[in-house]
Chains A and B, each alone.
Chain A
Amino acid sequence: MSRYDRQIKLTEVGPEGQKRLRNAKVLIVGVGGLGSPAAMYLTGAGIGKIGLMDHDKVDMSNLHRQVLFQESDVGRSKATVAKERLENQNSEVEFEVYQEPLTIENAENIIKQYDVVLDGTDNFETKYLINDACILADKPWVFASIYKNEGQLSVFNYENGPTYRCVFPKSTRENISCEATGVLGVLPGILGTLQAAEVLKINLGTGEVLSGKLKLINMMQASEQTININKHSEEVEKIRKNGIAPVYIDCDLKNKEQWYLDVREVFEQPKPKGKKVLSIPMGDLTLRYQEIPNNQEVFVFCQSGKRSKNAIEILKNEFGFHNLKNVEGGIETIIDG
């Protein structure tokens, strides 16, 4: 008996539909709360190739919602662990692991190799990046996002339909993650599973795809609403003409006379502007330490204050810097406004 027998029995699938799934390629960007259940159901359904993209490592605080991971996985690469786990679930599926973030440089090239993108990300920058790259590569993407007990879901850029920018034209600095707000594990479970369902319908070419509509789900109130959205062709044309629009959410720092060193990765947001703000990611410090002034006070920051503390240790012990001060609470404490 075929492993897919129970879905092939459906008239919407049938042997022909199963073949379509077998030939489908799906890229999952972010293998976390949304990406975990989505990846498991798509693997179960027999999608031909699944790309698993995540530059993050498994943390104990992920386990209540990121159902792909076990205690013994803590500290390991999410994308790699996901591949191992999913290969055990279905050895017929081909997996490609990307232990790197989606960037302006790699987005279009990677997305071109797939039929659909499933957005499992937790930040606005990557959502706009997926959106723009999908416009350029002419691929649909299945969006979901969560805030506390609420979720949003839609399929963008599907058969020339509306895109994320048609709903939210501009990015915002209010980048509030599940880490910051809290979330019950079931909510990304529900949204991620609905995303997988949209991916299956797109690949099967059957059913009503959630394009031109934004579904709003409130788990606590057990309520749902669907909003109709229209395409704003000018938003799409702008991207087609000018390429991916970087969503560098810039900000000012309180003290413009002060030297700062930002040791976060280049894709981390928001990006402070100013002549006295140096950006050198942790990994590049030993190569670029000479760019850092050593004759006046420099404040070192990252997102939370932890990495910058380590950076100062390295710069002090290995390169003799004695003029560095840590920004304890991270970037949010030094932003102006």
Chain B
Amino acid sequence: MKVTIKYFGLVAEAAEKSEEVLELNGELTALELKAQCLESLAIADKESVQIAVNQNLNDTITLKDGDEVALLPPFAGG
């Protein structure tokens, strides 16, 4: 199945892209996908990155074909 990942803030920077489509095999929760996406990235506090699936904040949901997953780090600047 295909899932679109959208990266924001310092996650997009570390990933060097703001969006990609991943081909996934087998069942995966949003949280598992996040761990997989962030694994190789230099992000100090991965726990602070939140997950939205199809524009809803949720990390426990099992992903299905066509889902859009957003990885959202908190911003502090003002």
Give chain A's interface residues, CB within 8 Å of chain B.
30, 32-35, 119-124, 127, 144-148, 150-152, 167-168, 170-178, 181, 183, 188, 214, 216, 218, 221, 225-230
Stretch at the interface among B24-32, B33-41, B51-59: B51-59
Q: Is the CB of A221 within 8 A of B8?
A: no
Residues in A neighbouring B9, C-beta threshold 8 A = 147-148, 150
Q: How large is the interface on B (under 10, 10 to 19, 20 to 34, 35 or more residues)?
A: 20 to 34
Q: Is the CB of A146 within 8 A of B78?
A: yes
A188 to B10, CA, bound (A): 18
Specify which of A32, A35, A123, A218 is in contact with B76 (CB 8 Å cutoff).
A123
Q: Is the CB of A175 within 8 A of B76?
A: yes
Residues in B neighbouring A122, C-beta threshold 8 A = 76-78
Q: Is the CB of B8 within 8 A of A174?
A: no
Residues in A neighbouring B55, C-beta threshold 8 A = 225-228
Residues in B neighbouring A121, C-beta threshold 8 A = 78
Residues in B neighbouring A226, C-beta threshold 8 A = 55
Q: List 29 A-B contacts (CB under 8 A).
A: A30-B78, A119-B78, A122-B76, A122-B77, A124-B76, A145-B74, A145-B75, A145-B76, A145-B77, A146-B75, A147-B10, A147-B73, A150-B75, A151-B75, A152-B74, A152-B75, A172-B47, A174-B45, A174-B48, A174-B73, A176-B77, A181-B77, A183-B77, A216-B70, A225-B70, A227-B56, A227-B72, A228-B56, A228-B57
A305–chain B nearest beta-carbon distance, Å:
22
- In this complex, the member of A173, A177, A225, A226 whose beta carbon has the largest number of chain B beta carbons within 10 angstroms is A225
Q: Chain B interface secondary structure, helix, strand, loop or mixed?
A: mixed
Residues in B neighbouring A171, C-beta threshold 8 A = 48
A134–chain B nearest beta-carbon distance, Å:
17
**Is B18 close to A, CB under 8 A?**
yes
Residues in A neighbouring B74, C-beta threshold 8 A = 124, 145, 152, 168, 172, 174
Residues in A neighbouring B78, C-beta threshold 8 A = 30, 32-35, 119-122, 144-146, 178, 188
**Is B4 close to A, CB under 8 A?**
no
Closest 4 CB pairs of A and B: A145-B75, A146-B77, A172-B48, A122-B78
Residues in A neighbouring B76, C-beta threshold 8 A = 122-124, 127, 145, 147, 174-177
Considering only CB atoms, which chain A residue lies closest to B57 in the complex?
A229
Considering only CB atoms, which chain B residue lies closest to A124 in the complex?
B76
Q: Given the interface contacts A145-B75, A147-B10, A227-B70, does A167 sit within 8 Å of B48 by beta carbon? A: no
A36 to B32, CA, bound (A): 41
Residues in A neighbouring B6, C-beta threshold 8 A = 225
Residues in A neighbouring B75, C-beta threshold 8 A = 145-147, 150-152
Extra contacts besides A174-B45, A188-B77 (13): CB < 8 Å: A34-B78, A35-B78, A145-B75, A147-B75, A168-B48, A170-B47, A172-B48, A176-B76, A177-B76, A214-B72, A225-B55, A227-B52, A229-B57
Q: Is the CB of A227 within 8 A of B44?
A: no
Interface residues of B in 50-72 (CB under 8 A from A): 50, 52, 55-57, 70, 72
Q: Is the CB of B45 within 8 A of A216?
A: no
Q: Given the interface contacts A172-B48, A227-B72, does A177 sit within 8 Å of B8 by beta carbon? A: no
Considering only CB atoms, which chain B residue lies closest to A183 in the complex?
B77
- In this complex, the member of B6, B44, B55, B78 whose beta carbon has the largest number of chain A beta carbons within 10 angstroms is B78
